[in-house]
Structure formats: structure tokens, C-alpha cells
């Protein structure tokens, strides 16, 4: 069962509201006396040599990564609160829940109770997968296997092509079906093709064989070898993640007949019918040149290998919900081998994740279909979301939008016509805070307290049906793609900026902290999301949300030149010898970070109303803004996690989201006395200024 996400830049943290300077009678800030942990600094490090460590080094030296986590961050510590809150909600919902409840709370409780019934799950072993495995064994033709891949939208298993339904970016009044390359279980095509990941690839083959053996599939070792070869061939045909960031190149609208002609050898009719989209007339293809190559891989691969692959992918998807042998094997590969985690999370934590969806614990979104996260969100916000937060964040957003407007109006490299369009687009953004206006309807979902696998399937079918059923209707501008309990934020294809309830917490926002801290963290994150609408991808969409070139050619060239300078800076960063950040892959997030901090500083200055900023803890207002940004990203990760991140994640490692940004902002040099010779120093003509 694969995940899908709507178009839009997704940001790996969240934001919240504006506070006044802390008053003597105010609640104590979570960090320090005014919102920044000065005891966590490393004052032996010069800010101009490593600002990330200067701000966080003392805390980093003491912080310990838990055995069941790939990293430790301040945001993760904050998310632990959400986890405990969700745990309390689910335990309460499960108490006395009927076998097949009818209320939202009851369905959450029954799902959780089914996961927690470890004794029952152990007795079942692999039995819950038997009906699906029998279907796979009976699928002896390619058209039936293509149909199983279409059903992957709501069923355990794999597909060599992924699909999601979202707003048509060239016709924003309607939805469209997007198709993209898929089929790889390892984190990125590089894991199949580059020698540096040979150990992980070998471990993957062993894992495949182990899973096949557990489900009783014949010749597990030989089939594992064939499966990895099959995925390697797909990797060879696939586009890179950097290529996938081009919204023009990845928008190729065509009829279903044209799709069949583009990628013959794959039964598209069977695939779409199984996905409940048999009457579809057109689709948008992402990696156009890869489609015929991947279809050809499918067409030449023996049916027996395709069956074994589908059986393995079903087992891998279902493993977290099966007996301990499956759970431990799944963790040993996905957790230990790929992320460096040392221990499996305790069962109640895994249960909370399974029911709620989204890996809010590690700060990554997964959006698995087999959960009832929107139901959980209704219970979470009813109990824990403070209504006054909505008004506060909306005010902070207005302040950041005003700062952005002032910057656009003064840009020396943008022509009047392009400037007018940019300002028009800025004004169209809708800010969504806390939770959706309309709760998801779960009245038709059947959940039982003793059938975990079927609960996951039922939730998946329910979610997919929601998107299919609204497909032909008008675009829902009130839509969300993140649940309220997700510690994240995003800039979406609906020209919306969304801040779920769970992100209203330190280190991003603290109502007891002073303004400079909240501007440097929360304000910079809001600025980040605003800037996503104007990063190297976002700038290609106009004020209506349509993919359209609204830039004067000279303006576009100026933007590209500045972005290229920033990309070159990031590509020079080297978390490990010979391992570099991909400045092209991380371009959009880096541009958004730079815009966010720049706008936050402007907005903070404007908030002072011409008065001097107070000095707190010996720190000026500007110093506190920069230190708050650094604190917001405080954290460290296991080496395997970072190695995976640099090849597969559009976000740069945490230290570069700090050091790579501040060195391009002139005010940072003045605030901390950074001089030539300092490691992060850039001459003025090498500093990148975009927005």
C-alpha cells in the first residue's frame, strides 16, 4: 500500500503564532529566560566558523539519540508531547469500545485496540495475508498483474507506476490523475546503481529472501535475486529526484489511448479499472521518457518474477501489522540497515502511528493510506488545540506577508510587469490554521477491534474512495493534505499555506518567549512557506495556481543566476568525505529557508515601530532572531539517516539549513562580527540575495 501526496512544497517543520515580549508575570518560556537556551550554546566555537554549533553545540554534545529513533531534535522532543497526547486519546477511546463501533471515537479506539492485541496477532502469523497471496498466485498473466498494481492505491502490494489525484496545475478548477514512476523499495535509485550503497543493496536482497520465506513462497533466494534485478532495471530507467523537481517537464497531459501508445506492454485499461478510474479520459504523466522504458522492463520480466515481487511487496507493506517475526524483520532492514536505528519502538507507539498515520515522531511525513488520521485529528484538536492560536498565527502571517510585499516592491532585478504579477500572487494565498473547516466523514467505515489487517485495508479503501468520489466535482479549496496532529506545515497547490495544530509548540513558537525568538523561528517558517510560492518550482505557477510562465525573460534569467549561486554553495557542503549535499535537489527548500529568515528579520524590525530592540541575556534583537532559527533546527542524526537524506530528501541536513543561510544575510555579519578568514565568511559579492 503506497503513499501519495498532493502537489506542493512540503516543509519538514511547522509554525505558530506571535507573542509579545515576555512579561514578568508571563509563563516561563520552555528554553531559557526569554525563549533561547543559552546554556546549550558552544561559546568556544566562533559564530563565523560554525553558527549551528555556536548556537546548539552544548546541547548537541549532551543529546543522546534514542535507540528507536534515527535522530534527536528539539522538534522531536516537542513531538513526543503529541505522541503522549494521542496515546491518552486512544487509550481512552479503546476502553470499553464495542466490537464494531459506530462513532468516530469508537473507531479510533477499536483500531488501536486491534493493534495492541499482540497475543491474537501472534496466533495468526502470516494467515491474514493468505487470501491476497492466493490472488497473486492466480494472477498468471501480465494484465492481471497490472490490475493488482492499480489496486495498490488501496491494497497491500507494489506498483511500477504510482498515481495520485489532485488539482490540475494547468486547469486549477478541476482535478486530474497524475501518474509517475514507482516500483523501488530502496530509498532512491542511487541505492541500486552506486557502489557506495552496495552493502544496503545486498542487505535488501537478503531481506527480500527472508520475507518470501516467511510467507512460504517457493525458491526465496532465487526469487529475491530476480526481484532486486527487476528493481535495478527500473532504477536504470527512472528519472533522478532532481529531474522530478521540474514542474514543466513533469507535466505531460495525454489521453489514456496516448498513454497506452507511449508505454506499451503494460495494460493501462486493467490498471485504471482496478484503481476505480476505468472511465478516465486523460492523465498527466510525470517522467515521460521513463514510462516506455519501465513498461518494457515489465513486459520482458518473467511473470513468475512479477508474482514473487508482488508477493514480497505485499508482505513488506503488511509486516508492521503481522506477528513479531515479520515486525522484527521489517525493522531490522528499514530501521537498522537504512536508518541506523538500534531498537524497535514499543508497541503502543507503533499503534499510535498506525492509527494516526504520518511519522510525526521522526519529523517525516509518510501519509500511509491504511490509517484513520483525520478521525484522530478530530479528537486531538477537540482536546488540545487552543482556539486563540488561530488568530495569533493569522496576525503573524499578515506581518510576514507585509514584509514580503515590501521586498518585492523594492527588488532591483525585477521588472514592473513581473513585479505586478508577483504581488498579485502573494495576495491570493489563503492561510489555514489548526484543522480543516469540514471534518472527514467516517460513517461508512467499518472498523473492528479484532481484525487489524482488515482495519488497515478498510481505512485504505475509505481514503482512496474519498478522493475518487470527489474527482469529477469542483475543486475543494478548503482541502488539507496534512492531519491536524502532524508536526509539519506546507505550501500547497491550492495556493494555501497550512499550519496544523500540532506545530504550535517550542522550539517553533512559545507564547512566553520574546518577539525576536518567535520571529526567528515561527516567523522564519511562515516566510519559508510564503517563499515556496516563489522558489525555483513555485515561481512557475501564477496567481490562479496555473502552471504558466509569467516572468519577463530577463527577470527569469536573473532569478536563475541567483538560484544557481545558492545551489553551488550547497553542493560544496560535505557531511561526510566524498558525500555532498545535492544543491539541485535541495534548491527549493534552500531558497525558501533564505527567504524565510530574510523576511522574518524584516518583519521583526517593522514590529519594533522605530524603537530600539531590547537586549536580553546580553543578546541584541538581531542576534536573537538568528539564534532562534538555529535553535529551531537543533538536532543530530545517525550517519545512515544522513546518507539517505542527501540522496533522497529535498531538505538539506540540519546544520546546513542554518550555516548555509545565515552566511548570505548581511545583517548576520554585523550582528556577530563575522570577518574574512572565518569559515562561513562570504565576500559581499558572493552572498545570494533573491527575495
pLDDT at 61: 97
Whether 104 maps to a domain, the answer reads: no
Shared-domain flag, residues 290 and 415: no
Cβ contacts of 683 within 8 Å, gap of 6 or more: 676
Whether 1 maps to a domain, the answer reads: no
Q: State which residues form the domain around 556.
A: 17-74+388-432+505-686
Residue 448 per-residue DSSP state:
-
pLDDT at 472: 92
Mean local confidence (pLDDT), 63-86: 92
pLDDT at 503: 83
Q: Is the peptide bond before 114 cis (omega within 30 degrees of 0)?
A: no
pLDDT at 621: 98
Q: Are 9 and 537 in contact (CB under 8 A)?
A: yes
Least confident of 216-220, 384-388, 432-436, 639-643: 384-388
pLDDT category, 365, cuts 50, 70, 90? very low
Shared-domain flag, residues 392 and 317: no
pLDDT: which is higher, 11 or 318: 318
Residue 330 per-residue DSSP state:
H
pLDDT in tens, 99-154: 999 999 999 999 999 999 999 999 999 999 999 999 999 999 999 999 999 999 99
Shared-domain flag, residues 512 and 627: yes
pLDDT in tens, 401-429: 999 999 999 999 999 999 999 999 999 98
pLDDT category, 23, cuts 50, 70, 90? very low
Q: Are 535 and 106 in contact (CB under 8 A)?
A: no
SS3 87: helix
Shared-domain flag, residues 49 and 150: no
Place of cell 530600539: 612
Shared-domain flag, residues 511 and 656: yes
Q: Is the pLDDT of residue 490 over 90?
A: no
Q: Is the pLDDT of residue 497 over 50?
A: yes
Whether 287 maps to a domain, the answer reads: yes
pLDDT at 421: 95
- Which of 321, 345, 379 is at the close of a domain? 321
How many domains does one find in the chain? 2
pLDDT at 10: 31
Whether 532 maps to a domain, the answer reads: yes
Shared-domain flag, residues 280 and 425: no
Q: Is the pLDDT of residue 359 over 70?
A: no
pLDDT at 125: 97
pLDDT at 369: 61
Shared-domain flag, residues 315 and 402: no
Q: Are 65 and 71 in contact (CB under 8 A)?
A: yes
Distance CA 280, CA 273 (A): 9
Q: Is the pLDDT of residue 247 over 90?
A: yes
pLDDT category, 368, cuts 50, 70, 90? low
Average pLDDT of the chain is 92
The CATH number linked to 680 is 3.40.390.10
Mean local confidence (pLDDT), 22-26: 40
Shared-domain flag, residues 311 and 400: no
pLDDT category, 20, cuts 50, 70, 90? very low
Shared-domain flag, residues 272 and 419: no
Whether 458 maps to a domain, the answer reads: no
- Which of 289, 306, 321 is at the close of a domain? 321
Whether 236 maps to a domain, the answer reads: yes
Q: Is the pLDDT of residue 452 over 70?
A: yes
pLDDT category, 18, cuts 50, 70, 90? very low
pLDDT category, 282, cuts 50, 70, 90? very high
Place of cell 469540514: 438
Whether 530 maps to a domain, the answer reads: yes
The CATH number linked to 169 is 1.10.1380.10
- Which of 300, 321, 342 is at the close of a domain? 321
Q: Are 653 and 637 in contact (CB under 8 A)?
A: yes
Least confident of 197-206, 224-233, 272-281, 368-377: 368-377
Shared-domain flag, residues 282 and 195: yes
Shared-domain flag, residues 297 and 206: yes
Max Cα distance, the chain (Å): 76
pLDDT at 489: 85
Whether 105 maps to a domain, the answer reads: no
pLDDT at 88: 98
Cβ contacts of 174 within 8 Å, gap of 6 or more: 167, 168, 475
Residues in the chain: 691
Distance CA 471, CA 481 (A): 15
Shared-domain flag, residues 665 and 520: yes
Residues of the chain with pLDDT > 70: what percent? Answer: 94
pLDDT at 395: 83
Amino acid at each position: 500500500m503506497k503513499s501519495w501526496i498532493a502537489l506542493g512544497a512540503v516543509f519538514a517543520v511547522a509554525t505558530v503564532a506571535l507573542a509579545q515580549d515576555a512579561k514578568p508575570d508571563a509563563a516561563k518560556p520552555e528554553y531559557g529566560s526569554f525563549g533561547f537556551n543559552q546554556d546549550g550554546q558552544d561559546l568556544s566555537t566562533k559564530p563565523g566558523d560554525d553558527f549551528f554549533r555556536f548556537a546548539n553545540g552544548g546541547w548537541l554534545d549532551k543529546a543522546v539519540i534514542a535507540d528507536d529513533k534515527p535522530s534527536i531534535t528539539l522538534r522531536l522532543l516537542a513531538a513526543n508531547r503529541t505522541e503522549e497526547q494521542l496515546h491518552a486519546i486512544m487509550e481512552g477511546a479503546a476502553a470499553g469500545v464495542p466490537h464494531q463501533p459506530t462513532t468516530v471515537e469508537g473507531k479510533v479506539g477499536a483500531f488501536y485496540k486491534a493493534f495492541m492485541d499482540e497475543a491474537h496477532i501472534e496466533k495468526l502469523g502470516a494467515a491474514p495475508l493468505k487470501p491476497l497471496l492466493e490472488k497473486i498466485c492466480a494472477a498468471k498473466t501480465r494484465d492481471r498483474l497490472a490490475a493488482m498494481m492499480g489496486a495498490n492505491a488501496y491494497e497491500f502490494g507494489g506498483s511500477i507506476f504510482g498515481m495520485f489525484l489532485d488539482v490540475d496545475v494547468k486547469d486549477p478548477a478541476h482535478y486530474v490523475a497524475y501518474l509517475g514512476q514507482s516500483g523501488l523499495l530502496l530509498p532512491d535509485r542511487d541505492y541500486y546503481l552506486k557502489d557506495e550503497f552496495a552493502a544496503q543493496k545486498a542487505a535488501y536482497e537478503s531481506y527480500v529472501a527472508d520475507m518470501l520465506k516467511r510467507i512460504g513462497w517457493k525458491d526465496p533466494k532465487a526469487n529475491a535475486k530476480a526481484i532486486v534485478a527487476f528493481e535495478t532495471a527500473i532504477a536504470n530507467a527512472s528519472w533522478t529526484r532532481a529531474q522530478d523537481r521540474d514542474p514543466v517537464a513533469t507535466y505531460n497531459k495525454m489521453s489514456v489511448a496516448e498513454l497506452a501508445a507511449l508505454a506499451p506492454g503494460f495494460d493501462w485499461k486493467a490498471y485504471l479499472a482496478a484503481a476505480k478510474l476505468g472511465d478516465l479520459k486523460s492523465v498527466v504523466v510525470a517522467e515521460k521518457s521513463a514510462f516506455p522504458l519501465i513498461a518494457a522492463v515489465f513486459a520482458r520480466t518473467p511473470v513468475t518474477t512479477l508474482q514473487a515481487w508482488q508477493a514480497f511487496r505485499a508482505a513488506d507493506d503488511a509486516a508492521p501489522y503481522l506477528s513479531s517475526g515479520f515486525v522484527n524483520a521489517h525493522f531490522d532492514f528499514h530501521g537498522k540497515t537504512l536508518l541506523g536505528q538500534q531498537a524497535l519502538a514499543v508497541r503502543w507507539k507503533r499503534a499510535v502511528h498506525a492509527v494516526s498515520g504520518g511519522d510525526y515522531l521522526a519529523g517525516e511525513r509518510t501519509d500511509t493510506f491504511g490509517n484513520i488520521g483525520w478521525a484522530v485529528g478530530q479528537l486531538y484538536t477537540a482536546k488540545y488545540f487552543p482556539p486563540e492560536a488561530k488568530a495569533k498565527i493569522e496576525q503573524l502571517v499578515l506581518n510576514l506577508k507585509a514584509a514580503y510585499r515590501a521586498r518585492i516592491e523594492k527588488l532591483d532585478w525585477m521588472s514592473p510587469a513581473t513585479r505586478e504579477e508577483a504581488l498579485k500572487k502573494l495576495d491570493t494565498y489563503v492561510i489555514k490554521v489548526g484543522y480543516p473547516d469540514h471534518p472527514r466523514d467516517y460513517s461508512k467505515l467499518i472498523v473492528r477491534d479484532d481484525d487489524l489487517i482488515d482495519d488497515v485495508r478498510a481505512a485504505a479503501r475509505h481514503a482512496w474512495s474519498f478522493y475518487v468520489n470527489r474527482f469529477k466535482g469542483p475543486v475543494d479549496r478548503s482541502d488539507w493534505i496534512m492531519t491536524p496532529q502532524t508536526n509539519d506545515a506546507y505550501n500547497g497547490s491550492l495556493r494555501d499555506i497550512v499550519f496544523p495544530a500540532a506545530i504550535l509548540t517550542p522550539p517553533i513558537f512559545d507564547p512566553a518567549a520574546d518577539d525576536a525568538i518567535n520571529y526567528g523561528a515561527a516567523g522564519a517558517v511562515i516566510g519559508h512557506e510564503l517563499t515556496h510560492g516563489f522558489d525555483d518550482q513555485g515561481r512557475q505557477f501564477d496567481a490562479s495556481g496555473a502552471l504558466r510562465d509569467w516572468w519577463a525573460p530577463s527577470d527569469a534569467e536573473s532569478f536563475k543566476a541567483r538560484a544557481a549561486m545558492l545551489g553551488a554553495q550547497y553542493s560544496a557542503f560535505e557531511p561526510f568525505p566524498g558525500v555532498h549535499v545535492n544543491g539541485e535537489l535541495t534548491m527549493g527548500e534552500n531558497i525558501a529557508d533564505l527567504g524565510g529568515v530574510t523576511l522574518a528579520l524584516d518583519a521583526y524590525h517593522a514590529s519594533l515601530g522605530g524603537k530600539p530592540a531590547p537586549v536580553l541575556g546580553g543578546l541584541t534583537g538581531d542576534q536573537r532572531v538568528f539564534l532562534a532559527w538555529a535553535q529551531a533546527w537543533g538536532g543530530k542524526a545517525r550517519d545512515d539517516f544522513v546518507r539517505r537524506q542527501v540522496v533522497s530528501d529535498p531538505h538539506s541536513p540540519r546544520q546546513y539549513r542554518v550555516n548555509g543561510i545565515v552566511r548570505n544575510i548581511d545583517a548576520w555579519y554585523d550582528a556577530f562580527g563575522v570577518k574574512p578568514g572565518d569559515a562561513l565568511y562570504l565576500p559581499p559579492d558572493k552572498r545570494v540575495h533573491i527575495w
